[in-house]
Amino acid sequence: MEKILTEEQLSALQNRIDEAQWVACVCHVNPDGDALGSTLGVMAWMKALGKECTVVVPNRFPDFLQWMPGASEIVRYDRHADKADAVLRQADLLWVCDMNDASRALGMEGILSECVERSAQGNLYMVMADHHLDPNPAFCNLQISRPEMCATCEVLCHLLWQMGRMDAMSLPEATCLYTGMMTDTGAFTYASTRSVIYECISLLLARGIDKDRIYRNVFWTSTPNRMRLVGYLLYVKLETIPGMNASVMTLTNQERRMLGIKNGDTEGIVNMPLQIQGMRLSAFISEDTEHPGFVKFSLRSVDDFPCNEMSARFFNGGGHKNASGGRLQCSIEEALELFRKAVKEYAQLLKD
């Protein structure tokens, strides 16, 4: 395991936790397993210490994550903005998890800017726990940012180990942290070659997690509409680009309505084309359900193909080498043509 804070930082954080009465946790828009695992894991930790703690998320999260410990207590900003604002204004300690800038919490930028102002005045202490590149240096008092780690939940595992909490960790904490690590690595099939990851897993297993049940809850739980969506995308919408070892699928909002799709039902589908022999890059392009006129890009790759670099160059995005995303104001047709152009630009890397 790794020490990720200096002794001075560790002491300051421990003091802030000890002094805190009202704690809040936030994460990025369209929360995934790591965003929920990290925020819910912190919430379980804070509550075990006797703190009042609430998780606030920008919008809906996938049905297959509803089982997670504490998920029923989450406050959604898109549904209960007044309640969420009150929680964040009352907090004296705010954990920002799996998010390196307020812009990633679409719809919550205003209240987060207010939080930053309060933190500058000393009325709030903001802690970032994250593993994405290029954190905003003006965002949060303490930044625990480790891009080389597989998930924000791994960052928290190392932090809790350094703070001597592993032996006292509750089952809900451990379950949430394992879920985040598992989902952000595709069940440890990518971004998970560092041996220390499995040290983390071993420590979480020692806390009593049922990793097989967690896997079933996430990957073997689906609604009928999601199953139909998978079949539709793979049979009707999957396009492989000849000679490029790349594939793309698109989804319009009209198709979402036709199939009865909810936000979160598309989670993980972008990984499926990578099962095709020789495939190095998979893209999923969809119309943004909450911001008309915008299109979202989700990219996954294998080996050394840098889909984060492609996202930054072409799709106003970024992320990790093998998992990244972006967002542009354009039509789905324009987005598809832009992706084809990007593939041509990276032809040599894709063919190798």
Position of tokens 């043509």? 337
Sign of CA dihedral 257, 259, 264, 268: negative
Which residues contact residue 150 at a Cβ distance below 8 angstroms, ignoring those fewer than 6 apart?
Answer: 131, 181, 184, 185, 191, 192, 194, 197
**Do residues 152 and 127 lie in contact, with contact meaning Cβ atoms separated by under 8 Å?**
no
How far, in Å, CA of 263 to CA of 347, rounded? 33
Query: 176 to each of 15, 78, 201, 271, how far by Cα in Å?
Result: 25, 23, 12, 22
What is the Cα gyration radius of the chain?
Answer: 20
Which runs of consecutive H residues, i.e. helices, occur in 293-346? 307-314, 332-345
Give the HSE-up count for residue 252: Cα atoms under 13 Å, Cβ half-sphere: 10
Cβ of 257: how many Cβ atoms within 10 Å? 10
pLDDT (tens digit per residue) in 204-239 = 999 999 999 999 999 888 889 999 999 999 999 999
| Complete domains list, the chain, with CATH | 7-219 (3.90.1640.10), 224-351 (3.10.310.30)
**Integer Cα distance of 314 and 68 in angstroms:** 35
Q: pLDDT tens for the chain, 352 residues: list them.
A: 999 999 999 999 999 999 999 999 999 998 999 999 999 999 999 999 999 999 999 999 988 899 999 999 999 999 999 999 999 999 999 999 999 999 999 899 999 999 999 999 999 999 999 999 889 999 999 999 999 999 999 999 999 999 999 999 999 999 999 999 999 998 998 889 999 999 999 999 999 999 999 999 998 888 899 999 999 999 999 999 999 999 999 999 999 999 998 877 888 899 999 999 999 999 999 998 878 899 999 999 998 899 999 999 999 988 888 989 999 999 999 999 999 999 999 999 998 6
Q: Provide DSSP, 215-271.
A: HHHHHS---HHHHHHHHHIIIII-EEETTTTEEEEEE-HHHHHHHTPPTTTTTTGGG
* Residue 267 near residue 261, CB atoms below 8 Å: no
The pTM is what?
0.88
Closest CA to 288 of 263, 261, 313, 314: 263
What is the β-pairing status of strands 125-130 and 142-145?
parallel
